[in-house]
Amino acid sequence: MSQSPAFRPLPFLAEAHAETLPGPRLQKLRRAALQARERFVQEGPVAAVATCELVTFPYPSLFAFSGAASSPAPYVMMTHRMQVVQFVDANGERRTLLFNPSDYERGQAAPFYRSLRERYGAFVSDKVMSTQHGTVQSHLASLGLTPGDVDFLAFDHLHIQDLRGWLGGDGLSAYFPRAKLLVQRAEWEMVKDLHPMQSVWFVPGGADIPEERVVLLDGDTWLGTGAAILSTPGHTRGNMSLAVATSREVFVTSENGVATESYTPLLSAIPGVRRFAEHMGWEVVLNGNSREDSLLQYSSMVVEKLFAGPSAVEGAFVNFHPSSLLTSHLLAPGLSPTIVLPAPNFGDVRPTPASRRAA
């Protein structure tokens, strides 16, 4: 494994995570999330963040709102997005992180999407049920960045990810010559030895990259000014969320929820969601395609909700921005988002001195 960079833990949260009983853990996490958020914003805003749309794709309606949504459509449509984040680290260097830079063409090898493609055929899969908005490569070029400008890659979880094209392995050369993968230790250990019920969502061999390109994280991690990784297990064992602070608000991004209304289900106009939340007494509605850790996922979503806080644009909604965003589509009647908040964008992304020195 690669030597860990000069990151530091976010305060307060680790002790709350250590509570073994689910109920008391949730209560401790509520307090810790608010305390950690206050400390996080005190250090000032991130240097820059830019959101880039990659691809719109189908996803089972049954999973998107844990079965709560009432619609005959078998699939919702979601738009997967990458964040380009630049932060100043503990050494005063401006660093570049790509959060969720999915190689979506290679990701089609995951068994779930491979079988979906076999069922519907290439034309329907590529031209009707999905839309490509841009690639990681094209978005970086539009921002004036080269592969050598990128210091870190990270994903909220490793479902549908093939890392080999970016970081090398299996005979492939690395597209990013300097980048290291930031990943929770629990996620990395899990993906190396999957349970059969997990395997359908993972690209076979997708994590077979050189170990020296991997930086293991153990919990909530402060990357630098205005940028942090929250440990939000549940959707997967090592699920994590991106948190960035701007001069106005805090953004939180992951795939624990498919829309901001997943965190305020009583405000949802999607048929069935509000009724389900009222009946169950839930304050959040899970993106539930993997259920082995649902209690953890619920608590993680409460942490995300409190750490993000209200949107500066629509204060009734939480400033949560799904990495794969529920998207209106003709093939998904009744499954359009109630509201779409402006995507996380702040500051100016630019080449960094560190990358230029390395080049």
Residues 218, 300: Cα–Cα separation, whole Å: 15
List the one residue out of 182, 168, 9, 172 whose CA is nearest residue 95: 182
Average pLDDT on 172-188 reads 97
Q: What integer pLDDT is reported at residue 357 of this predicted model?
A: 57
pLDDT, tens digit, for every residue of 45-74? Answer: 999 999 999 999 999 999 999 999 999 999
Residue 270 · residue 261 · CB < 8 Å: yes
Q: Which residues contact 220 (CB under 8 A, 6 or more apart)?
A: 9, 10, 13, 14, 36, 228, 229, 230, 231
Rg, the chain, Cα only: 19
The H or E element containing residue 35 is: helix 22-42
Q: How many CB atoms lie within 10 A of CB 250?
A: 22
CATH classification code of 9-346: 3.60.15.10
In the prediction, which pLDDT does 355 show? 57
Provide the pLDDT for residue 356: 58
Does the pLDDT at position 359 exceed 70? Answer: no
Q: What is the pLDDT of residue 61?
A: 96
Distance of alpha carbon 146 from alpha carbon 252, whole angstroms? 26
**pLDDT over threshold 80, residue 201:** yes
pLDDT at 253: 98
* Mean pLDDT computed over 135-160: 98
Both tokens assigned to 69: 């949504």
The CA–CA distances, whole Å, from 231 to 130, 223, 248, 260, 267 equal: 30, 13, 23, 19, 27
pLDDT range class, residue 353, cuts 50, 70, 90: confident
Rounded Cα gap, residues 156 and 98, in angstroms: 11
> Residue 316: pLDDT above 80?
yes
Write down the mean pLDDT value for the chain: 95
Query: What is the arithmetic mean of pLDDT over 252-260?
Result: 97
pLDDT at 291: 76
pLDDT cut 70: percent of the chain above it: 97
User: How many residues comprise the chain?
Assistant: 359
| pLDDT value at 4 more than 80 | no
How distant, in Å, are the alpha carbons of 34, 52, 264, 269 from that of 314? Answer: 20, 22, 12, 15
Predicted confidence (pLDDT) at residue 96 exceeds the cutoff of 80: yes
Closest CA relative to residue 320, chosen from 266, 262, 251, 255: 251
- Give residue 277's pLDDT: 98
Which residue's entry shows tokens 């709350």?
16
Q: Which helix (H) or strand (E) holds 15?
A: helix 13-17
Whether the pLDDT of residue 304 is over 90: the answer is: yes
Please measure the distance between the N-terminal and C-terminal CA atoms of the chain and give it in whole angstroms.
23
pLDDT band at 352 (very low <50, low <70, confident <90, very high): confident
